Amino acid sequence: VSEETLESIKLAFESIAGSKTDGCAVAAGYTASVLAPWGTPLNGNAEAWKNDGTNTFTDQLNSMGMHHDGMHFFPIDGSADDGLLVINHEYIDQGALHPAGATTDASGNRPVDEVRKEIYAHGVAVVRIQRSNGVWSVVDSDPLNRRFTSDSVMDIAGPMAGTDHLVTPFSLNATQTRGTNNNCGNGYTPWGTYLTCEENWPGYFVNTAPLTEEQARIGLSTGGTRYGWDTAAGDATEVENEFGRWNVTPTGADATQDYRNEASTFGYIVEIDPFDASTRAVKRTALGRFRHEGCWPGKLEEGKPVVFYSGDDSRFEYIYKFVSTALWDPADANPSDRLATGAKYMDEGTLYVARFDEDGTGVWMPLTPESVAQDGRTLGSIFGDLPSIILNTRGAADVLGATPMDRPEWCAVSPLNGDVYFTLTNNTRRTEANAANPRIDNEYGHIIRWTEADDMSGFEWDIFVFGSNDSADADTNLSGLTDLNEFASPDGLGFDSRGILWIETDNGSDVADDTNDQVLAVVPSNVVDADGNQTVISAENQEMLKRFFVGPNGCEVTGLAFNADNTAMFVNIQHPGNWPYSDDATEVTPDGTTVRPRASTVVIQKEDGGPIGV
C-alpha cells in the first residue's frame, strides 16, 4: 500500500443493522429520497409515467429508462445544487414495462411496438437535476436532457473503425453502428465526458450457424435472444431494417448483405459528452472488446499517460488497463471540444491485461501484435493485426497467461494515493485457488487492491477485504466481519473526493437471509494494524467498515455519485421487487400492497445539510 498524501478523515455515523423490507434504510441523521425513477419524462414528447404499463414506446424514448445502474454527476459551473446526472439503464423488467408482461403472437414472435419500447428502455439517460430548499428534482425539458438507446446512431473510433470486422449494411465503411447495450458500470474522463460500458450484450444476439472462434469465446447465443428482439413481427422491410440485426447468422453473400458483423460493433467503452446534446456517442475501441463492466480513470499526473481500468465480469475473466499514447496536459481538463480530447487520449494507446503472481506482485501484459504468448508465438502470428486482437480481446489475454479472476466488477482509484481497488464479486465455480482468488467456491467475493509501479509495468497487490456471512467459520470469514458489516458480492465501488471508499453489493448468498443489498463505507487509511501501519481489514480492525444504507427487497444497490461538495450522494436501486411506495425512499410499502416496481436513483442527504459520511 502506498503512503497517503493527505490527512485522512473519520466516518461519523453508526453502522446500521441489516434490513429486509420493501423500503430503504439509511444511517441515523440522513434522509433518502426517490429521484428520476424509470419513466420520468425528460421532455414534452413523453406523457407522465402510468401505473398500468400503457406508456407508449414514444413515451419511453423520451423518459428515463429502466434498471438504473452506473452513473456520474457532472456539476454545472461548479454548483453543488445543479448538474447533469448521467445514468446507465442496464436491462429491463418486462413484467413491469408492459401492461401484462411480454407477449408473443401465435408463431412465437414479438409485437414490434413492445420490442421498440424495450429497446428504448435500455441505454443511457442524461438528466439535469437541481436542488431547491434541500430537495432535488428533475428539470423537465432541459435542453441537455437526452436519451441514448439500443437504437441510437453511434460513431466508431479507434483501431476497429473502418476495418472489415465492423462492416454492416448500416455502415458500409464501418464507422457507425446503432445502440449501446447492457450498460452496467460506468466511468468518466478528466475532460468532462461520461463513459458507459457494454457488459452482457452477447445474449441479445443469435447466430444459428457455427460460431466463429471469437463469438464462441465471448459467449454469443446459439439459441434464442434474451428478449426475442430478433423475432419482432411487423412490416417486413421495417423489421429487416430495424430488428433483423439482432440475428447475426450469415445469410447473404458477404457482410454488406447481412448483419453477420453486428455483434462485433458491441462490447466497447462508449464516450458521451453530456454537455453538448448535438454530439453522438462514440465507441472507443482501443480499450478492448469484452463484457466491459466499467471504465475508471487511474491517478492523473501532468506529463504522464492517462490510464483507464476495466473489468470483464464473467467467471475466470480478466482485469485490463488502457494506457494512452498522449501524455496528460492539464489544459485538456476543460476543452472546447470534449470528444476531440477523447480521441486524443482514448483512440491511441496500449491495452494491457493483468497477471497476479503468487508473491504479491503483478505484471501488465500488452495486447499488441508484438507481444509474445506463453507458447512463444506472437499475438500477431496467432490473431493478426491489432484490430483482430481487439475483436477477440479475451482470446488474446488467454494465450498471454492472464490471471483468471472471480468476476471483476467495479474499480475505484484512491484520490489520496492512487491505489487501485477492484471488486471480485463471486465465483461459485472456482475449484482451484490462486493467490489473488484464494477461496474455492467463492460465494461471498472479495476486494483486491494494488499499488502501481513507478513505470506502470507492474504492481504490488493485496486483498483488502473478504466478503462473508458473520456466521461463517474463520477460514471463510477472513476479515472477521460481524452482523453490522457482513456483506457478500461486492459490485459497485467508488471513492468520493475525500478518500472514503463506498462499497455496494449485488448478493445472492446466504447473507441475504440477514440483510438486503447495501452500501458500506470505509476509509482505507484508517484500517491499521496493532502498530498503526495501514493494512487490510481483519478481526482486529473490522469496525472501520460500516454499513451506511440498505436497499429494499429484491434489489441490488448500484451506481455511485456525489455532488460537488459531497452534501448529496446518489445511488441506484436496480430491480426492486415492490418499491417505491412514495417519494420517501425509506417508506416501507405496506404488507399486502403491491406497487409496479420502478428502478430509481436515491439521493441521500444529511438532515443538517452537511457532508455525507463525516
Q: Which residues bind ligand FEO (CB under 6 A)?
A: 90, 184, 199, 293, 313, 409
Calpha distance 55→230 (Å, rounded): 23
Q: Which does 271 bind (CB under 5 to 8 A by kind): ligand FEO, Ca ion, none?
A: none
Beta carbon of residue 552, minimum distance to Ca ion (angstroms, whole number): 17
**Which segment (358-366, 480-488, 519-527, 533-541) binds Ca ion by CB under 5 A?**
480-488
Half-sphere exposure of 68 (CA within 13 A, CB side): 35
What's 279's DSSP letter? P
Task: Please state the closest distance from residue 293 (CB atom) to ligand FEO, in A.
Answer: 5
Residue 188, phi then psi, degrees to nearest 5:
-155, 165
Of 90 and 517, which has the nearer Cβ to ligand FEO? 90
Q: Which is nearer to Ca ion, 67 or 165 (CB)?
A: 67
470 binds, among Ca ion, ligand FEO, none (CB under 5 to 8 A by kind): Ca ion
H or E element at residue 238? helix 236-242
Least distance in angstroms from the C-beta of 577 to ligand FEO: 18
Q: What x-and-dash track marks residues 62-81 binding Ca ion by CB under 5 A?
A: --------------------
Residue carrying the nine cell digits 482505507: 524
| Least spacing, CB of residue 422 vs Ca ion, in Å | 12
142 binds Ca ion (CB under 5 A): no
Q: Which is nearer to Ca ion, 317 or 491 (CB)?
A: 491
Rounded to 5 degrees, φ, ψ at 514 are: -110, -25
The runs of H, that is alpha helices, within 24-162 are: 57-61, 94-97, 112-121
Residues listed for the chain: 614
Shortest distance, position 43 Cβ to ligand FEO, whole Å = 28
| 171/509 with CB nearer Ca ion | 509
Q: Cβ-count burial of 192 within 10 angstroms (0-12 exposed, 13-18 middle, 19+ buried)?
A: middle
- 124: Cβ contacts below 8 Å, ≥ 6 apart: 65, 86, 87, 88, 89, 147, 148, 180, 183, 194, 196, 272, 281
3-state secondary structure of 114: helix
Instruction: Please identify, using beta-carbon distances, which residue of 199 and 406 lies nearer to ligand FEO.
Output: 199
Q: Within positions 372 to 431, which residues make up the interface with Ca ion, using CB under 5 A?
A: 409
Nearer to ligand FEO, 203 or 369 (CB): 203
CB of residue 236 to Ca ion, shortest distance in Å: 38
Indicate which of Ca ion, ligand FEO, none lies near residue 90 (CB less than 5 to 8 Å, by partner kind): ligand FEO
> Out of 142, 460, 470, 565, which residue is the one contacting Ca ion (CB under 5 A)?
470
Q: How far is residue 298's CA from residue 553's CA, in Å, rounded to a whole number?
A: 35
Helix (H, G, I), strand (E, B) or coil at 386: helix
Window 498 to 527, contacts with Ca ion (CB under 5 A): 506, 514
User: Among 491, 496, 504, 517, which residue sits at the site for Ca ion (rule: CB under 5 A)?
Assistant: 491
Bond into 580 cis (ω within 30): yes
Report the interface residues with Ca ion, using CB under 5 A. Answer: 184, 409, 469-471, 486, 491, 506, 514
